[in-house]
Structures are given as C-alpha cells and as structure tokens.
A and B are shown apart, each in its own frame.
Chain A
C-alpha cells in the first residue's frame, strides 16, 4: 500500500475550513480595528496604506477604508515630489486591478479608480481603455465599467470615430447589448451631424474632427450615415427578431423629429369673457411666462388650468375682467406671448362675433407623424418594405408588427388605417400580456385619425363611436369641438383632461363603461350629456356635473345609479339647471 492516496473526509475538510475562516476573521477584525484607530489619530503613513489594502482586497466595498485611503494619498501628494506621487498612484492602480479581478462590479473599486486616474500626474489612458475593453469582453453589461470608460474617454479625448469603431466591435460580438447601441446613438450625431443645408450624397462626412458642440446640438444624423445604420440594425433584427435592443435602436434611428414649440391655438369667448390657450406641449403657465395682451395693453390675468389636478397642461384659461370684451359692437385684438420661447399668437375678435380663434391645424403640422421622424418618405417606404419582408417570414413577431404600425403611421395614417387595425389585432393575440397597452396605443391612433378627418372636413364635431377606444388622448386638439360622440367604446372614465374641451356643448357617451366623470369640470357651454348604459353608480359620481352651469339634458338610463332611491329629488338639488332628465 505504499504511496496509496487517501482523501480527507468531509468532516475533516469542514473542520479545516471552519478553522481557516476563524483565523481569517480574526486577522480581518484586528486589521480593521487598527485602521480605525489610526484614522482617529490622523496617521497617514505607509503602514495605514498597507493595512487598508489588506482589508480592501478581501472586501472592496468598505467605503470608509477607501475614504481613509484617499485622505492618505492626498496627504502624500503634499509631501512627495511628482515622480513619487506618480509611483504611488500607479501602485494604487495595480492594486485596484487586483480588486476588480475579485469583484468586477465593486462600486468602491471603480470609484477609487476614477479618482486615482483623475489625479495621476501622468495618466496612461491607453492602459485604462484596454482595461475597460478587457472587462467588457468578460461582461459586456458591466455598467460600472461603462461608466468608468466614459470618464476615460472624456478625459483622454478619444476621437469619436474611434469610439464608433469600438461600438462596432461590441455590437459585432453581441448585438443584444443595448449599452453599445445606446452609446452609438450618442456618437453618431457628433460624428455625422445632419447638415443644415440639404445633404449632397457626395459629401464626405467629417472624420475624427473634434465634435462641434454648439449649445443646441442637433440629435439628428446625416442621411448617408442613417442608411448605413438602417442596414446594420436590419442585420440584427433579421438575425434575431425577438431581441429588443436592435428594435429600440431602430426606432431611435427612425424618429427623432423635434416638434416646434409654439402656441397652437388661442380661443376667445365674448360671452363668458374668457381666453383659452393651447400650447404644443404641457406647460405650467405661471412658470413659463404666458402673457396676454389685449388691444395693446398687457393684462394682469390669472391663468388657470382647466382642472385642478393638472399642474402641467397644454391648455390654460383665464377670465378677463368683467365688461372688457362683452360689448358686441367692439372689435378686439388679442396676442398671447409665450415669453420663455419667444413665440406668440394673435387672435382678432371681430364686431358682432361671439367667439373667435386662431390656430395651427393638426393637418398643417403633421402633428402625429412626429412619433417617427419627418424622414424622407422614400426612406421610410423602403424601411416599411424591409419590415414587411420580415413580417412575411415572422408573421407573429411583435416588434416587427409594432414597427410596421409606426412606419405606416409616419407614411400615411389614414391610408393604412385598415392594415394598422389588423396588425393591432394580431399584436393583442401574440402578446396578450400587453394587450391593454396595444388597446391604448390603438385608441390614440384612432383618435389622431379622427382629428385629421375632422380637420379635413373643417367641422367642430368630433365623432369616434364604436372604435374600441379604451382611453382618450390629444384632448388639447379638441379645444374648439362643440359636439363629441364617443359612444359605443370601452371607456371607463372621462379623465381630468376632458376639461380641455372648453367649447363642448353636447357629449354623447352612451354604451361605455364610464364610472367617473371627473373631466366634466367647469365646462362653460356644456348643455347635454348622454350617458346611457354606463357604470355610474352613486350620486357622488355625478358631482362634477354641478360645475357645468348650462347643463340642461342628462341621460342616465341603464346606469346602476338609476336605481337609487329619491334620485330625482337629489338630482334636482344637485343639478338645478337640468330640465330633461332620463333615468
């Protein structure tokens, strides 16, 4: 039996391990206590560096110790010459490298490395970059490393085109890493900015020039480069259409149109002596400096949101002092200034007119195409073709379907309405977990289409019945609407935004599932509300109607509330103006 191998039993091994651990713990605690007492005494010597190093190499996220180390290093900077400091910091960097090998995602180690790199008298950025590359090749989603790398790139001024090449490499090895795609989206506008004049195809994109950084850097990319990016990203989503990174990047490529900020509508009513203003985006009227000038005189008015819940809103109203514009024989000129954006809109209220408005119509603005950009139609058309090709191969891929819908909307929202609806139906089936999201999105598109149709017809009637609407949106676009029909949908509420319909006289909302009328808030002209077959269950739910002074007709048939005892009496009290009540 000479030389026969025996193996320690599990119990023996456990015991040894336990002893080992105990020993380690003892050493660790002793070193920690020594560090703390040294720091208390303000000792900044090499021994302290060594002790903290010992501790941090086994536990790199001990922030106090890193702080102590930094104190020591900063102290050393003051007493040593540059070469010595360089040497000390280089030792620190190699120590940090060993820490990162133990835990490549340690906040403490990466932070310390950033700190050291910034203080190093003669930094070696190339080495830092290659360290990052090594870390990212081991784990391309290590965001600590991404962060540190961004710092290194910034400090060392790595040319943008080199960085783009870096993203090429990372995307090539794993195109599911959204970090790389995202980084690309920040580099492209710097390297290939959209030229102010129409780009000519022969123009060479500027290479490796330092990024021009005017204060309002465009986020758009020149067309030539965009076409290359479309090709790259198509390779990704054709290879794996279920990977979302490529699709998100694709959507970024397709759409970054920035809408012009402006006052899109000014409405004035002589009768209620009120001005309503719609902005292109939700604002807070008090803070952005909305200013009303009436016949050359700036007015001290109090801007109100249409509903107390809406602190930020596209629509704001103000009441004029009584008598200012009430006389129909007078003509008035109003101007509303959005001082912050140096923009304004005029509106004239002519003699004999009870109301007036001035606006940019949705059709002129191509408002709803801004989701995807105002890219050339031909480009979008060919992208749509590629997606359709993929959809033929992968008819049930949700990313592809959704992108097709977006492209169709950008190209011709009304023309593609039928296809869009069919794709939405498929989407809800294949991705049932998100069917509510698709319903809301579809509702939005249907509303946009209806707004466009309404404006083509130049009417103030908005009718969108029986379209499976689950939500209402773009209500700021309906500021002038007098008659709305949303019956036979799946609406559950009339949200606060509904109060933006400041001109509304008739609301048809039969056959929905409405439980909540919050949006019917101080609508000055509302006369008729039809809510047959909804889910209004208590008298309290009808409370908002009391704020509408002109309400005359109310249909509540087929609502749970209709069964309430003494309803008529209570309603007469709550809504004294209502003449025709259907229960």
Chain B
C-alpha cells in the first residue's frame, strides 16, 4: 500500500514498535479501535529487535552514524531523527583470526618438527569458525539487543496465553541455571529434580535447601522480623552454608547483598512460583529470539485491521490549544492523519519537552559469539542463565544468558552469549573483566578450558526504568512508553501497556482471547473466506502494509525458515505455551 493511500483518520496512532507499543497496538485493535502503527526504522521492535549477524553489523554502523550526527547537531527537535539517545559506547571485537592463529601455533608447537601437511589433518578435529563463516551463516543468527527471559508465570506469559498471541510463536525452556562462584561455573540446583541430582551438595545441604525453598513460600513471623534488614543476613541466620546462601541470593532471588529481606523473599517466591510450569527452571525463551514477541503482537494487531508502515514516521503533532489535545499528526510524508490518541516511544519525544532531558541510567550490554558452552554437559543444546555476582567491590552483578543453536539464534557450532548489567562505566569497562575471566580472549589466552570468544559487541542502552513516562510537557492524549529496562522480566513493558490501555479505554477488556481464525468474519470483498485463506490474510495483514520491499521479503523468508525450523524441532523441546501443570512443582 502506498503512503498516499493511508486513511486520513484513525483512533490511535502509535509510533515505535517496541514491546509495550506493540502490545498496546494489539490491545486497541483487538477491541475494534482503528490503529495506525508506524516505525521510523526499517525493522520491527526498535530497541527490542533481533538481528541476523549481518543485520546487526548494519545496526552497528547506524549507531556510529547517528551518534556522530547527534554530537554535531546538538539538540535535534525533529521527532524522526532524535531516537539514537538510547544507544552509546558501541565497541566491536573480532577474534576469529586470533583464535585460528592460536590453534595453528599450538598445533605446530605440539608437533614440533613434523611436516606441515600433518597440521591440516589435525585441524578438522578442532575446526574453528572464521569471520567469513559468521557472515555467510549470518542469517542463522537472531541477536537480541535486549536480553531478557520470560518468567513462566510472569505477566508476559499470562498475556500471551490470555490473548492467544502465543500461537504465533514457539518457546523453549531455559534448561539450567548456572552461577559463577570461586572462579568456576556451577549448576544451581533449583528444582526438586536438580537438588536430587546435584553432586555438589551433601544430603544435609539438600534437605536444608529444600526446606528453605518450601518454607519461604509462606510468610512467617520470623521473616517479618527481618523487614528492612539485608536478605543475606536472613539467609545466614537460616543455618544455610556459604554455597546455599550464594545460590539463593545471587541465582534464585537474583538480588544483591544489601537487598532488604522482604524484597529478596518476594523475588525468591516469584522464582519458585514459576518453577515447574513448563520445565525445571522458571524461564522460557522464544525460539528465534525476543524480537519475535513484539512482532507477534503486531501480527495480532494487523489481523484485527491495524495498519503497519515501517520507515515511516510522524514528524509533528497538531495540538488543539484550547483542550490541549492532539487532534492529528503529520506523518513523514506530510500527510495529515487525525487521531484521538497518540502513543509514542520515549526516545522520539523531543528533549525540550521532556521532564528530564537525557536518560538517567544505562544498561551495559555485551553480545558474544563463542565456540562452546561455559559448562559442558551431556547435552549440547542447553539454554543457560548464568548469574555472576560482582567480581570485586563496586562492580555490578552481571546476568548472562547463553543460547544454543536450537533456540534458532546462532549457527551450529556456536553459542550466543548475552551479558547484561546496570552501567557503572561504559559497557566495555563493566563487562570485559567478566568476559576475560570466563572466556578465552586475547587478554585471557591462557584459559584453555574456557570457551573462546569469536566475536563480541559492547554497547550501552538507556535503561527504560530510569526514564520518566509521565509529566512531560505533552498534550493529555499523548502517551509515552519508555524503552526496555535492564531487568530480567518483561513486567514493566506489559504493565505500562495495560495501564495506558486502561486509561484510554477503561471499560474495555485488555487483550481478550483472540477467536479462532474460522470464527472471524471479514466484511466486504473478503467476506467469503475460509479458514485456510484466513491464515494467508493474517500474514498479509502483518507484512502487506509495509512499504519497504526489502524488509518484507526478508520477513517472508524468515517465516519460511521458521517453518522449516519447526519441523526439525518436533523431536526436540520446542515448547508451546499452554496451561499445563508441571510435575516438579516445589510447592507440591
């Protein structure tokens, strides 16, 4: 659909396709609101996006370009150009050549004066992936800008189930929780089966841990007595040994040493509550990466008539002076589109209209492509959450997610590792010490038992939880969503979407279950469609409105790949979200 053909009237215009915007778009569309959803970028999901390796390389380039623009242009007022405040300090390293060299020299060293021909024979055994291969197989990567996991009883999973959006995606269990302790990576026994199988714990420790996990589910007088005092103090008073305290504090509650007891207990409970719903850990991860989730909600929005335009933005708002309401927007093509509500991602809001000009907090991120897992096990297809407590005083606690190829986020033979922490310095300053300790890089070439880093990226991203979404100098029917926060869960984005939806339409249900495709009646020319055609219709809904030919083609191809992947996965642990009570529930 060409831009000129855009209808001139909508109920809601939404700028930005991040998670919260996509959820609210689906919610509005689902209850019959006419939604126009646009994004300045050529891809969906904004800072929530997932990229192929090559896609990520272009994204990196864009960041450099726009960062320099921002420095030169000082304060950019135009909505469409001011988005890049959210990303900083991008640094990229590629070690594929170094690693290959490393092995070649080793091979020649060990073999001494053996003729060179032998080297090529020994090499296939330790075949290293080079940069060209990463680029060639780049499509197999789906690299998330944001690293999060879905709590199996969190609000996002509940919403996916309630709204039936879950049918658009597939999920995998996080298979294990690991932690970095005394220089080693250890598995954290958190479910009943883990505790039983653990070889590091004595039977008495097993009993103590299980008892703690069971007893902390209920609030007791004893717990209340620790209100305001550190959780660590509470834990050590429970006669739990050092290792158990470490597991409980850093890996299960995932809090810091000075977190108050009530908060520590609450997050411990949330963790335990999520166990056993889908597997032995509390977490799910969407196959093909987190960027799938906003797209799923967009698809839902499109099925119910929402219109999508990528590489399309809103340049001005037309505000009625009397009522201080936004009556219409002018899009980047100069078309006037009237609307009753306007929803915008925070980064589009001009600085002079913000309550606080710049993001106050940042998240440090690193993305590594490695050649093996941080902890070997029988299965190569492990999806791990690794908690790394502060390695020195003043350092942030780092959260690491290691994805295996079966999550469809990296090429076979590699692992994709996401590191995240609250920024203290730049991403490189915060995270490279952890990387050099746990992985083999040129700086830590002697760590021969650690996985080698083939390629890595560091960047800082604005922390959405440090961003004000209210109190801006904006019309009353303009709603602002913050970008992604640094936390592990999606609570914040889902809650924001729901609260804004309720503000606009207080009497409507938020994302009620979508009907089966055969129960949907299309008006006019498509009225007589059958179930099979509906599927097609839906896809056209999501992809068809895009002006960007290239992007659309890419989208289609990705979906095709997706289907092929699904076939492969039938054998594996490809997990569909639905109501199912696991057997390993701790509480039972």
**CB-based contact A239/B195 at 8 Å:** yes
| CA of A7 to CA of B30, assembled, Å | 11
Q: Is B43 an interface residue (CB 8 A)?
A: no
Residue of A nearest to B525 (CB): A2
Q: Is A261 an interface residue (CB 8 A)?
A: no
**CB-based contact A1/B193 at 8 Å:** no
Segment touching A, from B91-99, B285-293, B516-524: B516-524
Interface size class of B (residues with CB under 8 A): 20 to 34
| CA of A174 to CA of B194, assembled, Å | 10
**CB-based contact B203/A234 at 8 Å:** yes
**CB-based contact A172/B193 at 8 Å:** yes
- Name the B residues within 8 Å of A13 (CB-CB): 519
Contact with A along B379-404 (1 / 0, CB 8 A): 00000000000000000000000000
**CB-based contact A4/B523 at 8 Å:** yes
Q: Is B117 an interface residue (CB 8 A)?
A: no
| CA of A393 to CA of B521, assembled, Å | 63
Closest beta carbon of chain A to B222's beta carbon, Å: 17
- Name the B residues within 8 Å of A172 (CB-CB): 193, 196-197
**CB-based contact B193/A2 at 8 Å:** no
Q: Is A235 an interface residue (CB 8 A)?
A: yes
Interface size on A, residues (CB 8 A): 27
Q: Is B208 an interface residue (CB 8 A)?
A: yes
- Name the B residues within 8 Å of A8 (CB-CB): 515, 519-521
**CB-based contact A235/B526 at 8 Å:** no
Given A236-B196, A239-B196, A393:B204 Cβ within 8 A = yes
- For B196, B207, B524, B583, the residue with the greatest tally of chain A CB atoms inside 10 Å of its CB is B196
Q: Is A330 an interface residue (CB 8 A)?
A: no
**CB-based contact B196/A175 at 8 Å:** yes
Residue of A nearest to B303 (CB): A5
Contact with A along B291-309 (1 / 0, CB 8 A): 0000000000001110000
Given A7-B520, A7-B521, A174-B584, A240:B210 Cβ within 8 A = yes
- For A8, A172, A240, A390, the residue with the greatest tally of chain B CB atoms inside 10 Å of its CB is A240
| CA of A394 to CA of B523, assembled, Å | 67
Q: Is B250 an interface residue (CB 8 A)?
A: no
Contact with A along B337-348 (1 / 0, CB 8 A): 000000000000
Contact with B along A1-31 (1 / 0, CB 8 A): 1111111100001000000000000000000
Closest beta carbon of chain B to A401's beta carbon, Å: 15
**CB-based contact B522/A3 at 8 Å:** yes
Q: Is B40 an interface residue (CB 8 A)?
A: no
Residue of A nearest to B280 (CB): A173
A140, A386, A393: the one contacting B211 at CB < 8 Å is: A393
**CB-based contact A390/B207 at 8 Å:** yes
- Name the B residues within 8 Å of A140 (CB-CB): 583
Closest beta carbon of chain A to B413's beta carbon, Å: 26
Given A174-B193, A239-B192, A239-B195, A4:B305 Cβ within 8 A = yes
Q: Is A238 an interface residue (CB 8 A)?
A: yes
Q: Is B140 an interface residue (CB 8 A)?
A: no
- Name the B residues within 8 Å of A209 (CB-CB): none
Residue of A nearest to B209 (CB): A239
| CA of A129 to CA of B523, assembled, Å | 52
- Name the B residues within 8 Å of A390 (CB-CB): 203, 207
- Name the A residues within 8 Å of B196 (CB-CB): 172, 175, 235-236, 239-240
| CA of A236 to CA of B193, assembled, Å | 9
**CB-based contact A5/B520 at 8 Å:** yes
**CB-based contact B523/A3 at 8 Å:** yes
Q: Is A389 an interface residue (CB 8 A)?
A: yes
Q: Is B471 an interface residue (CB 8 A)?
A: no
Secondary structure at the A interface, as helix, strand, loop or mixed, is: mixed
| CA of A130 to CA of B520, assembled, Å | 41
B32, B206, B304, B521: the one contacting A239 at CB < 8 Å is: B206
Q: Is A193 an interface residue (CB 8 A)?
A: no
**CB-based contact B520/A6 at 8 Å:** yes
Closest beta carbon of chain A to B578's beta carbon, Å: 14
- For B210, B304, B519, the residue with the greatest tally of chain A CB atoms inside 10 Å of its CB is B519
Closest beta carbon of chain B to A399's beta carbon, Å: 13
A268-300 with Cβ < 8 A to chain B: none
| CA of A140 to CA of B584, assembled, Å | 12
- Name the A residues within 8 Å of B519 (CB-CB): 7-8, 13
| CA of A5 to CA of B520, assembled, Å | 7
**CB-based contact B305/A6 at 8 Å:** no
- Name the A residues within 8 Å of B203 (CB-CB): 234-235, 238, 386, 389-390
Contact with A along B169-207 (1 / 0, CB 8 A): 000000000000000000000001101110000011011
**CB-based contact A2/B523 at 8 Å:** yes
- Name the B residues within 8 Å of A413 (CB-CB): none
| CA of A393 to CA of B192, assembled, Å | 18
Residue of A nearest to B526 (CB): A3
Contact with A along B502-532 (1 / 0, CB 8 A): 0000000000000100011111101000000
Closest beta carbon of chain A to B141's beta carbon, Å: 30
**CB-based contact B521/A175 at 8 Å:** no
- Name the A residues within 8 Å of B207 (CB-CB): 238-239, 241, 390, 393-394
- Name the B residues within 8 Å of A393 (CB-CB): 204, 207-208, 211
- Name the A residues within 8 Å of B197 (CB-CB): 172, 235
| CA of A235 to CA of B209, assembled, Å | 13
| CA of A6 to CA of B305, assembled, Å | 10
Closest beta carbon of chain A to B36's beta carbon, Å: 13
Contact with A along B525-561 (1 / 0, CB 8 A): 0100000000000000000000000000000000000
| CA of A239 to CA of B192, assembled, Å | 7
**CB-based contact A235/B304 at 8 Å:** no
| CA of A462 to CA of B204, assembled, Å | 44
Residue of B nearest to A243 (CB): B192
B103-120 with Cβ < 8 A to chain A: none
Closest beta carbon of chain A to B200's beta carbon, Å: 12
**CB-based contact B204/A238 at 8 Å:** yes
| CA of A556 to CA of B524, assembled, Å | 100
- Name the B residues within 8 Å of A1 (CB-CB): 523
Contact with B along A234-273 (1 / 0, CB 8 A): 1110111100000000000000000000000000000000
- Name the A residues within 8 Å of B523 (CB-CB): 1-4, 6
Given A239-B195, A394-B207, A174:B583 Cβ within 8 A = yes
Closest beta carbon of chain A to B90's beta carbon, Å: 41
A7, A173, A239: the one contacting B210 at CB < 8 Å is: A239
Contact with B along A168-184 (1 / 0, CB 8 A): 00001111100000000
| CA of A303 to CA of B244, assembled, Å | 68
**CB-based contact B195/A4 at 8 Å:** no
- For B206, B211, B520, the residue with the greatest tally of chain A CB atoms inside 10 Å of its CB is B206
- Name the A residues within 8 Å of B522 (CB-CB): 3, 5-6
Residue of B nearest to A130 (CB): B571
| CA of A8 to CA of B521, assembled, Å | 7
- Name the A residues within 8 Å of B193 (CB-CB): 172-175
- For A140, A175, A394, the residue with the greatest tally of chain B CB atoms inside 10 Å of its CB is A175
| CA of A239 to CA of B194, assembled, Å | 10
Residue of B nearest to A174 (CB): B583
Residue of A nearest to B515 (CB): A7
**CB-based contact B32/A4 at 8 Å:** yes
Closest beta carbon of chain A to B356's beta carbon, Å: 40
**CB-based contact A6/B521 at 8 Å:** yes
| CA of A3 to CA of B526, assembled, Å | 8
- Where the two chains meet, the residues of A that have a C-beta atom closer than 8 Å to any C-beta of B are 1-8, 13, 140, 172-176, 234-236, 238-241, 386, 389-390, 393-394
25 CB < 8 A contacts A-B: A1-B523, A2-B523, A3-B522, A3-B524, A4-B305, A4-B523, A6-B523, A7-B519, A7-B520, A7-B521, A8-B515, A8-B519, A8-B520, A174-B583, A174-B584, A235-B206, A236-B196, A238-B204, A239-B195, A239-B210, A241-B207, A386-B203, A390-B207, A393-B204, A394-B211
* Apart from A234-B203, A235-B206: 15 A-B pairs, beta carbons within 8 A: A3-B526, A7-B519, A8-B515, A8-B520, A173-B193, A174-B193, A174-B583, A176-B583, A235-B197, A238-B204, A238-B206, A238-B210, A239-B192, A239-B196, A240-B210
List the 4 shortest-distance A-B pairs measured between CB atoms, nearest first.
A238-B203, A6-B521, A239-B196, A8-B519
